[in-house]
Amino acid sequence: MTKIVILTGAGISAESGLGTFRDIDGLWSRYDLDEVATPEGFARNPALVHEFYNARRRNAAEAIPNAAHAALARLEAARPGEVLIITQNIDDLHERAGSRNVLHMHGQLTRACCAACGHGWSAPAELHADTPCPACAAQATRPDIVWFGEFPYHMEEIWAAIRAAELFVAIGTSGSVYPAAAFVQDARRAGAHTLELNLEPSQTVSDFTEARHGRASAIVPAWVA
Ligand code: BJW
């Protein structure tokens, strides 16, 4: 049974070379989020959105899991069935580090889906506005990503796990996007100890019972050890 719920964000993959969103040189300083991370932006300009995610798919494929991903995989191996990772990240670095119990609440770069019929499939390296759906042939292919205004994946399973958790840990997330930013409050209400591991105090740091700050590749292995 799940006892430790770990929420991860872009900060855990930063030292693998993948950009965060809201840091000074983050993705949202270079791209307009309304244009590339909303269903309205996709409807306006699908080619631009595919270009953005094709580039991120290439970067993620070249990235290598870092010591923080590896430490979480060791924790799961040492405590079989007790650890759940909820990641906001769309890369697959947790899985490539060896974690098995991972829920991608904001979708995955390795998946595509059809906006017309809802069919999902393994994404090729590049998606384009005219890529047809293998199930219904509509040219409505999108990356299987949860954009602003859309409902994140696995929410029932996530809330159930948070309600049952003894320990909730948030790693490398700014605490500025909901519903993930409210998980710490849900966990505390359910009686869990809550721990923030982040480069700097997040927006929700005061909601945690404990916080440790520094690079994920240093503080996550130190916490797991
Ligand atoms: C390091 C480090 C190192 C760096 N070591 N740390 C007003 C109030 C409340 C809510 C809303 C509102 N208006 C609108 C909303 C809802 C909206 C929302 O939250 N908006 C906010 C902007 C206010 N949310 C939604 O629309 C979500 N859906 C929704 O709410 O549905 C209804 C619902 C209601 C109730 C329950 C359930 C559902 C959907 C959100 C979709 C988010 N999508 C994105 C983009 C798609 C994925 C992608 O392209 O990758 O997901 S946005 C982007 O932000 C991405 C991330 O997953 C997400 C979170 O970012 P994250 O991971 O925290 O990254 P950063 O960059 O913000 O922070 C990195 C941190 O790491 C920093 O703190 C650094 O210091 C740290 N760091 N280096 C350790 N080496």
Phi, psi of 143 (to 5 degrees): -65, 145
CA of 99 relative to ligand 1 center, distance in Å: 22
Nearest protein CA to atom 63 of ligand 1, as residue: 173
107-114 and 120-122 strand pairing: antiparallel
The SS3 of residue 210 is: strand
Nearest protein CA to atom 59 of ligand 1, as residue: 177
Tens of pLDDT, residue by residue over 91-100, are: 999 999 999 9
Q: Is the pLDDT of residue 44 over 90?
A: yes
The Cβ of residue 198 has, within 10 Å, a number of other Cβ atoms equal to 25
- Position 25 scores a pLDDT of 86
User: Of these residues, 50, 69, 106, 119, which one is catalytic?
Assistant: 106
What the chain holds in terms of domains, given with CATH numbers, is: 1-18+65-106+152-225 (3.40.50.1220), 25-62+109-145 (3.30.1600.10)
Q: Which residues are annotated as a binding site for NAD(+)?
A: 9-28, 88-91, 172-174, 216
Which atom of ligand 1 approaches the CA of 36 most closely?
49
Tens of pLDDT, residue by residue over 62-94, are: 999 999 999 999 999 999 999 999 999 999 999
Catalytic-residue membership of 106: yes
Tens of pLDDT, residue by residue over 195-218, are: 999 999 999 999 999 999 999 999
Q: What is the ipTM of this complex?
A: 0.97
pLDDT band at residue 24, thresholds of 50, 70 and 90?
confident
